[in-house]
Amino acid sequence: MKRKGLDMNKFADWQVGNDYEVIKLLGQGSYGAVASAIHKPTGTKVAIKQMKGVFEDEVDCKRILREIAILKSLKNRFVVGLFDLIEPTDTKNFDTIYLVLQLAESDLKKVIKSAIYLEQKHISTVVYNLLCGLQYIHSANIIHRDLKPANILINEDCTVRLADFGLSRSMNGVDS
């Protein structure tokens, strides 16, 4: 039996500085982990994406840099916003990067697997918002390349934000 308060330090290894308080783990994958957090100076709820071992593999390193560059360039209500890149405490010896992103209530994968019943108007709104997001990133010459329900963030009001641009590519310079 776990005693209350025993996992108070489960985010002790998250080096997010004094401005953020990590609250709850939202998901994990091969890239790292995402947790909800609070930006203490403003009280804003955010998501923090922790990516470990960023320099272990050259391909992964390039993917992370590409994702950051793409997120910095895309500014649209249908794309998850990048708020901050947390500076490492030791800028000469670090292997973990923290991205501070817009927080969404869920993702489409969780909604599909849940017992939530979506009416036709909800489905239509979600699909329309998803298509608007795709139209925007395509107009910015970006191809997502990893579009799946887990990378489509969704809120209760059916607003949608595209996320996880690690496999994305720019179409600039590509012959059709």
Pick from 173, 170, 176: nearest CA to 142: 170
Which pTM was predicted? Answer: 0.89
Averaged pLDDT score across all residues of the chain: 92
Lowest mean pLDDT among 5-19, 126-140, 142-156: 5-19
Q: What pLDDT does residue 103 have?
A: 98
Residue 5 pLDDT exceeds 70:
no
Over residues 111-139, the mean pLDDT reads 96
Over residues 40-51, the mean pLDDT reads 98
In the structure encoding, which two tokens stand for residue 67, read together? 């994702």
Q: Which of 7, 60, 146, 164 is catalytic?
A: 146
Q: Is 146 a catalytic residue?
A: yes
Other CB atoms within 10 Å distance of the CB of residue 88: 15
Q: What pLDDT does residue 172 have?
A: 82
In the structure encoding, which two tokens stand for residue 5, read together? 């308060």
